[in-house]
């Protein structure tokens, strides 16, 4: 979403959550880079709203650390907080290790088929220019595993705290071979689940989730204005 574009909202739903979702996606996708100024009056005009739902949406973004709010002055898209990214990664890894173990211990053919179908969707969209569809398919793959393990609400928790690490992943994703590596990792995880091998599933997941943070120094060197350490 470009800042100057008019945005159409679903008038049957509350406005503030829709504004929050659209602004959050623009920030996490780096369409709005760190340092972008978010002016309430401009956003109100863009969304066709009063400033109250805009303020509420910006406050929620502030709670997630995705914007810095300077009262009576400005709201600015925050730099990527490496410490917050590491903590979100730690929590996600801890949860998903148990998720894949649970799935491997009780694997069924229908689950494996659904996960493989989601991987094939990633393959179809792997060359999209802005990676938006690829990231959506990636997230849907993991969300399916949480749902199959009986912990769908934990996926919502993980997504809520993952804004900083997701931005690091967006910076890393265009690296040569990165998207293909994500697909290979997903296939390795599903293969282990299909074989009912919880240790192999955990090993594959651990390798998968370590990719971006393993490139942290390189990312910080390439994007020094985007990252706060």
* Chain Cα centroid distance, residue 125: 17
Can you tell me the mean pLDDT for 42-58? Answer: 93
Distance of alpha carbon 8 from alpha carbon 86, whole angstroms? 35
Burial of 8 (0-12, 13-18, 19+ CB in 10 A): exposed
CB-based contacts of 43, cutoff 8 Å, min separation 6? 3, 19, 23, 54
Do 31 and 50 fall into the same domain? yes
How confident is the model at residue 7, as a pLDDT?
77
How confident is the model at residue 4, as a pLDDT?
54
Domain contains 90: yes
Q: Are 138 and 109 a contacting pair, CB within 8 Å? A: no
Do 85 and 185 fall into the same domain? yes
Phi, psi of 9 (to 5 degrees): -110, 160
Domain boundary residue among 55, 78, 101? Answer: 78
Q: What is the CATH number of the domain that holds 199?
A: 1.20.120.530
Do 131 and 188 fall into the same domain? yes
Domain boundary residue among 78, 113, 130? Answer: 78
Do 142 and 35 fall into the same domain? no
How does residue 2 score in pLDDT terms, banded at 50, 70 and 90? very low
Do 94 and 207 fall into the same domain? yes
Q: What is the CATH number of the domain that holds 57?
A: 1.10.10.10
Q: Does 90 score more than 50 pLDDT?
A: yes
The better pLDDT of the pair 107, 29 is held by: 29
Domain boundary residue among 29, 61, 78? Answer: 78
Q: What is the reported pTM?
A: 0.90
Residue pLDDT, tens place only, 8-35 = 787 778 889 999 999 999 999 999 999 9
3-state secondary structure the chain: CCCCCCCCCCCCCCHHHHHHHHHHHHHHCCCCCCCCECCHHHHHHHHCCCHHHHHHHHHHHHHCCCEEEECCCEEEECCEEHHHHHHHHHHHHHHHHHHHHHHHHCCCHHHHHHHHHHHHHHHHCCCCCCCHHHHHHHHHHHHHHHHHCCCHHHHHHHHHHCHHHHHHHHHHCCCCCHHHHHHHHHHHHHHHHHCCCHHHHHHHHHHHHCHHHHCHHHHHHHCCCCEEC
Number of domains in the chain: 2
Domain contains 134: yes
Domain contains 175: yes
Do 45 and 58 fall into the same domain? yes
The parent domain of residue 208 ranges over 81-228
């Amino acid at each position: 979403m470009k800042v100057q574009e008019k945005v159409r909202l679903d008038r049957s739903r509350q406005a503030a959550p829709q504004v929050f979702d659209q602004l959050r996606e623009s920030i996490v996708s780096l369409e709005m880079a760190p340092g972008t100024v978010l002016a309430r009056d401009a956003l109100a005009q863009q969304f066709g709203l009063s400033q109250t739902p805009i303020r509420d949406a910006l406050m929620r973004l502030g709670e997630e650390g995705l914007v810095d709010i300077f009262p009576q002055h400005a709201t600015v898209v925050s730099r990527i907080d490496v410490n917050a990214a590491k903590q979100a990664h730690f929590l996600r890894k801890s949860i998903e290790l148990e998720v894949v173990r649970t799935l491997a211990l009780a694997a069924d053919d229908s689950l494996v088929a659904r996960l493989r179908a989601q991987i094939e969707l990633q393959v179809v969209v792997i060359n999209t220019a802005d990676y938006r569809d690829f990231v959506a398919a990636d997230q849907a793959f993991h969300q399916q595993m949480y749902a199959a393990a009986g912990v769908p609400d934990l996926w919502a928790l993980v997504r809520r705290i993952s804004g900083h690490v997701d931005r690091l992943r967006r910076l890393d994703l265009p690296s040569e071979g990165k998207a293909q590596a994500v697909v290979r990792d997903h296939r390795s995880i599903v293969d282990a689940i299909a074989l009912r091998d919880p240790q192999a599933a955990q090993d594959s997941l651990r390798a998968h989730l370590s990719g971006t943070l393993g490139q942290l120094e390189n990312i910080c060197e390439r994007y020094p204005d985007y990252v706060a350490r």
